[in-house]
Structure 1
Amino acid sequence: MSVDAVIFDIGNVLIEWRPERHFDAVIGAERRRALFSEVDLHEMNDRIDHGHDFRETVEATAARHPGWATEIRMWHDDWLRLAGPEIPHSVRLLRALRDSGVPVFALSNFGIGTFALAEPEYPFLTEFDRRFISGHMGLAKPDAEIYAALEDECGLPPDRLLFVDDRADNIAAAEARGWQTHLFTTPEGWAGRLVADGLLPAERAA
């Protein structure tokens, strides 16, 4: 089936997103496990991704858990070490698609403040034809409304959109709307899909 636009998730597709890895390196795996067991930092991040203020949300969480306040504030102060590095092969695929004239969009759960930090650190984030960033929209995957908002703005038929994401729930929500999808596990697998769909020649996908 033909594709009119390719839609990239960002975290764990273009940029590694493994907060636990950073905390393991800084405070040790045992203490990190205790922290993440007692404080739902991913739920905190979900609120940031929905548009809540980055610093205020982290500080409010730290205030509710004073025994972990220093570690919780690392989510804000060390954020660029939580998010990264980039995944070079995926970035090359993004650029190859654009060079080939294929429109590329971003659809990502990302906070307003966190995206403002990431953009200068990862210049390819400015290279999308359109960006749909959850914090700015007040919507987040896998809620159907964020997919509908993208469809309304781009005006393309859902079955001509190809969406890559690393989370099965986000993929399932896109498939429910009739999108073509690829569950990202490796950049090589994603490259193979783009070649198989005729969007890139093999030499451009390497």
Structure 2
Amino acid sequence: MAAFLLAGAAAPAPAAESWGLEDLFARFARVPSSNARFTETRELGLLTAPLESSGTLTYRRPDFLEKRTLQPQPESLRLDGDRLTLTQADGASRTLSVSAMPEIQTYVESIRATLRGDVPTLMRFYEVALEGTLQDWRMQLTPRAEEARQTVQRIVIAGRDAAIRRIEVLQADGDRSIMTIQPDPA
């Protein structure tokens, strides 16, 4: 983008805003909480049609996340510290320790470390490639641990400023999910 002087001569283009992973994560670190709506499409090799779901997402610093699926049936996935609790439509609930299951911990940290603005944790679990601009960025995460790569091939998180707008997970078996996220207007 070049600026033009009144005389019509071209002036040097202003330097593009310098930014990178540290800058982006510093912005995430300043967000105390957020609420959003999501739509998720899961493509599974065993099914002929994708599975669709929608609901709400809640985040509170430093490590509370909740995904409430409203359609096609209610269920919730709640992460509070090291505890991950899945509650199904019939009310049945199951709780597990995230740190006791490395493949789940790797996935959880892709989202939690990003929302917390925690670069060291993200780098411990993933090789990270960031591209784009602050207003339209894309971060590709490749698990470092072999056991995690047996489950998740890569995760691509995209967003605008300190807001995640899309999460794509490509599993090692070829299944994938795409979650589109819209901020809650409230």
Q: What range describes the TM-score normalised by the shorter chain of this pair?
A: under 0.3
Greater Rg by CA? 2
Of structures 1 and 2, the one with the larger relative CO (CA 8 A, separation 6+) is 1
Q: TM-score of the superposition, structure 1-length normalised?
A: 0.26
Q: TM-score of the superposition, structure 2-length normalised?
A: 0.28
More strand by share: 2
More helix by share: 1
